[in-house]
Amino acid sequence: MSIRKFERKAVAVPSSRLSRLAKLGGLATSITGAVAAEGARRLARGERPRLEDLLLTPANAMRAADELARMRGAAMKVGQMISMDAGDMLPPELAQIFDRLRAEAHHMPWPQLKRVLAQAWGAGWRDRFESFDIHPVAAASIGQVHRARTRDGRDLAIKVQYPGVRRSINSDVDNVASLMRVAGLVPAGTSIAPMLAEAKRQLHEEADYEREGRRLAQFGALLADRPEFRVPDLYPDLTTPSVLAMSYVEGGPVETLAAAPQAERNRAMTLLIGLLFRELFEFRLMQTDPNFANYRYAPETAQVILLDFGATRALADAFVDRYRRLLRAGLEGDRGGVRAAALEIGILSGGAPARMERALIEMFEMSLEPLRQDTPFDFGASDLAMRMRDAGMAMAEDRAHFRIPPMDTLLLQRKFGGVYMLATRLRARVDLRALIEPHL
């Protein structure tokens, strides 16, 4: 979670299943009513509007984004996932509205926050602190962050989970999935059951702050010999399943590097892409959430700060080895080897028609362009992202054969895509060939 000044107003989190269902039900009713009214207006003008044109409007996107931001929890998290995974598939005005879900949520008012902390630490919790800022420095989908100082002098960032998050995960995911189907965001005939099961599993893990604390400490140990990176220290004595206590680390949003000199931008992205390859091939442990807010930058020390390890996932040796074979075959131009490895991983399915196989392999080969060249790849000057988007949208049109890949593959692709988006935002130039070769 990012550490920054927070500006949105305090809004109590609906914590019971019934109140959360009512919120989503009200949202569905509101959207349905808006669709009926707009459809009637267009029919009166002699138009024959398509249902998806009535559903995917800026007004409906605004309704959905605002309600999900008020609800927080799994409902907002699923909305964030949609905005990350499908943002390029949406019209620009809709993508911009959903982008708000990745920025910041409302935060809990002080009376609700006091109750949550008393449940976690006991009634006399304030006696342990010299100061505790009741105004959060950040808020996101599952929790908000407060700055505090203990009586023994520790400067802390305290992440506090919203009430009711854990027990509402399954119902939130199911209800938001129903909204997605109503809105036509799910291709007809496509089973999203594996994705929903993974979303629930991942969200239950993210809602366990003791587990996140262990992953935080694990990454801190893995990168202890790399002073270019900074991972906050964990404080287990103040950490519970709903409260995570860590050292406060000063830094600014990584996107502010866009105004930095070219060499500084190149170095930061070289570090992050190098870390991505180490997570996959060396650590076999990956922080799979590509949200930019999980990275901060300290200009004074030139350190990249890593935050939010709730979505960390261990990768099986067999999966990593298959991915290594896939990349090696792709870089060697061995299309038969690419097909064999892609079938093993699940990127290709045995029953796909030849045209779909060919399109997927060509899209994969396109994605390797930055790794093939021996000179730094210029993310800011490349149109690769647009070509990949166009190829992906063309494949998505073949809805009869559209299949969601296995979750490990999907999460890895999502992480690669997020890092690529960040490198493009920073207009970085990175020698990716030099970064990947030691791992192949």
What is the tens place of the pLDDT at every residue in 149-169?
999 999 999 999 988 888 878
Highest mean pLDDT (candidates 110-119, 137-146, 274-283, 419-428): 274-283
Residue 396 pLDDT exceeds 50: yes
Least confident of 53-67, 128-142, 174-188: 53-67
Q: Note the pLDDT of residue 163.
A: 85
What's the rounded Cα separation, in Å, for the pair 289 and 201? 14
**Can you give the C-alpha Rg of the chain in angstroms?**
23
Tracing tokens 């939130």 back to the chain, one arrives at 172
Sign of CA dihedral 150, 152, 153, 155: negative
Residue 121 pLDDT exceeds 90: yes
Range(s) of the domain holding residue 278: 253-440
What's the rounded Cα separation, in Å, for the pair 363 and 64? 32
| Confidence bin at 5 (pLDDT 50/70/90) | very low
Q: Note the pLDDT of residue 42.
A: 45
Q: Are 133 and 148 in contact (CB under 8 A)?
A: yes
Q: Establish if 295 belongs to a structural domain.
A: yes
What's the rounded Cα separation, in Å, for the pair 210 and 189? 39
- Higher pLDDT: 347 or 214? It is 214
The predicted model gives 37-43 an average pLDDT of 45
Residue 437 neighbours by CB under 8 Å, 6+ apart:
none
152 is catalytic: no
Mean of all residue pLDDT scores within the chain: 78
What's the rounded Cα separation, in Å, for the pair 400 and 239? 48
Q: Is 308 left (phi over 0), alpha (psi -120 to 50) or beta?
A: left
Q: Establish if 30 belongs to a structural domain.
A: no
Q: Establish if 296 belongs to a structural domain.
A: yes
Q: Are 419 and 290 in contact (CB under 8 A)?
A: yes
Per-residue pLDDT tens digits for 409-423: 878 888 888 899 899
Q: Note the pLDDT of residue 143.
A: 83
Bridge partners, 306 (sequence order): 295
What's the rounded Cα separation, in Å, for the pair 377 and 139? 35
Per-residue pLDDT tens digits for 280-331: 999 999 998 878 889 999 999 999 999 999 889 999 999 999 999 999 999 9
What's the rounded Cα separation, in Å, for the pair 37 and 417? 38
Q: What's the Cα-to-Cα distance from 393 to each of 49, 156, 227, 298, rounded to whole Å? A: 22, 45, 41, 38
Structural tokens at position 270:
């070289």
Q: Note the pLDDT of residue 49.
A: 39
Sign of CA dihedral 118, 121, 123, 126: negative
- Higher pLDDT: 408 or 300? It is 300
DSSP 253-277: EGGGGGGS-HHHHHHHHHHHHHHHH
Q: What's the Cα-to-Cα distance from 6 to each of 97, 165, 415, rounded to whole Å? A: 19, 21, 26
Count how many domains the chain has. 1
Q: Note the pLDDT of residue 10.
A: 57
The predicted model gives 111-138 an average pLDDT of 92
Q: Are 344 and 323 in contact (CB under 8 A)?
A: no
Residue 50 pLDDT exceeds 50: no
Q: Establish if 411 belongs to a structural domain.
A: yes
pTM of the shown model? 0.77
Least confident of 63-67, 93-97, 140-144, 356-360: 93-97
What's the rounded Cα separation, in Å, for the pair 388 and 420? 12
| Helix, strand, coil percentages in the chain from 3-state DSSP, rounded to 5 | 60, 10, 30
What's the rounded Cα separation, in Å, for the pair 314 and 318? 12
Q: Establish if 130 belongs to a structural domain.
A: no
Residue 1 pLDDT exceeds 70: no
Q: Note the pLDDT of residue 66.
A: 57
**Annotated catalytic residue, options 53, 66, 289, 334:** 289
Residue 111 pLDDT exceeds 80: yes
Q: Is 297 exposed, middle or buried (0-12, 13-18, 19+ CB in 10 A)?
A: buried
Residue 84 pLDDT exceeds 50: no
Q: Are 27 and 179 in contact (CB under 8 A)?
A: yes
What's the rounded Cα separation, in Å, for the pair 229 and 274? 12
Q: Establish if 268 belongs to a structural domain.
A: yes
